[in-house]
Amino acid sequence: MTTAREIMTPGAECIGENDTLEIAARKMRELDVGSLPICGEDNRLKGMLTDRDIVVKCLADGHDPKTATAGSLAEGKPVTIGADDSVDEALRTMKEHKLRRLPVIDDHDLVGMLAQADVARSLPEDRVGDLLEIISV
């Protein structure tokens, strides 16, 4: 059984819940990513922040990204996958929540990110189409 830990991208960088959205946007640009995990001062995952969140929930609503914090956009309990969970479980989670990226946790610590492409590379060819169909709907 292949696990999330085996196929994830390790060392995911967080944005602090008290960091501004301006800092988050700069970090996304530096890392060339469209989303960042939001971590609290206790190093626990608080949510995910996307570039779209910054535009739609901050800029379009007239808020200032220099003062709005990443934590202010964290909504609900973040959807995650355990590091030792199977790729099939990751696939089910992505399907259920219509996600392209999952934070990977070990106990309560963020240890990496699992992207749709990571899962696709680990699947037999005859199942890759299923993944794309599930998530792209």
Q: What pLDDT shows up at residue 1?
A: 82
DSSP 13: P
Q: Is-contact 14 38, C-beta < 8 A?
A: yes
Q: What is the pLDDT of residue 117?
A: 84
- The mean pLDDT values, 10 residues at a time, for the chain of 137 residues are 92 93 97 92 88 95 96 88 93 88 91 88 68 60
Predicted TM-score of the model (pTM): 0.83
Report the alpha-carbon angle 103-104-108, nearest 5.
100
Structural tokens at position 65:
């990204």
Tell me what pLDDT residue 134 has: 58
In sequence order, which residues have a C-beta less than 8 Å from that of residue 4 and are 6 or more positions away?
81, 82, 83, 84, 85, 86, 87, 89, 90, 102, 104, 112, 114
> Domains along the chain?
4-136 (3.10.580.10)
Residue 23's SS3 state is helix
Paired tokens of 14: 């967080």
